[in-house]
Amino acid sequence: MSQIPQRVFIKEEGPREGFQIEGAGVPTARKIELIDALSQTGLQHIQIVSFVNPRLVPGMADAEDVVAGFTPAPGVAYAGLWLNQQGLQRAIASQRLDLQGKLTLYASDAFLKKNQNRTPDQQLAAQPDLIRMYRDHAIPVRTGFVTAAFGCNFEGDVAAEKVVAIVGQLLAIAEAEGEKLELVGLGDTMAWATPDRIQRVVGMVQDAYPDIELSLHLHDTRGLGLANAYAGLQMGVRHFDAAVAGLGGCPFAAHQGAAGNICTEDFVLMCDEMGIETGVDLERLIECARLAEDILGHPLPGKVKQGGSLAAMRRRLGR
């Protein structure tokens, strides 16, 4: 039975997702230009940088400069990504970001090794230490995340039962440290999800843990991003990660031309036409998508920045 929500919450990840895969050639000032433009669209959460090894991800070598340079807008939370305690320390030192503690486990051992050079036992053991570090800095821990929850380019399909078990591990780790997770993200990091798989995995997690809200982090590498998002909406999912103009991709996912998250403006158009509230000004967002394409100097996969919104078309037609 469809459970389509009346309101969705979008976490914009384009600046981080996009600029991390574009290498070191994007000027810091232009990254800041895009962040400031996105701040005027009604988006309430923008992830702007990764605090990662600049040798491995040169596109994030200027993370501190980007954080120091953007202009905060009222009502917008600005976030960064970190993979370990060193990255978290850099985020804390920036003193300009909205810091939310997150626990992360992987459904693929091979991808964990590629992405963080850890074994599953090492990743599991690192989570309580992260919680204590969050607590030392008064950072709330309310979110968990399962990476490669729908499949992996190194290991193949991931069983839904495994994802359910990992969600249980995340909840147990938090509880053992006196914390309670409120939101758990399921990441389709390498674009193995299909609409039926989204509904099967989400449904099984919802059945096992009905009090936990879920979010979806969907990549569009195989062209199924919006279809998968729609399947998530049908399951009542309200939280989605997205990237303006379809920016981005994971540099360690083992496929060339890896697309970023679902395109923010394409997703907002779909929600608008379905009567789902997003709080986002689509016309301003389309301008941001065109700006992103100008900054990078090559075509980006988003469609609505080319075709325009249906609302604008209706206005031109006098409808």
| Residues designated catalytic | 250
The set of residues, in sequence order, having a beta carbon less than 8 Å from that of 172 and lying 6+ positions away, is none
228: which 2 tokens? 């998968």
The secondary structure of 68-81 as a DSSP string is HH----TT-EEEEE
Kindly state the helix (H) or strand (E) to which residue 311 belongs, with its residue range. helix 310-317
Burial category of 117 from C-beta neighbours within 10 Å (exposed 0-12, middle 13-18, buried 19 and up): exposed
Distance from C-alpha of 10 to C-alpha of 15, rounded to nearest angstrom: 14
Residue type, 74: P
Question: Do the beta carbons of residue 270 and residue 226 sit within 8 Å?
Answer: yes
Question: Do the beta carbons of residue 157 and residue 192 sit within 8 Å?
Answer: yes
Query: Other CB atoms closer than 10 Å to residue 125's CB: what's the count?
Result: 12
* Strand runs labelled E in the chain: 9-12, 45-51, 77-82, 101-106, 141-147, 183-188, 213-218, 239-242
Q: Which of 218, 260, 214, 220 is nearest to 239 (CA)?
A: 214
Using only C-alpha atoms, the chain has a radius of gyration, in whole angstroms, of: 19
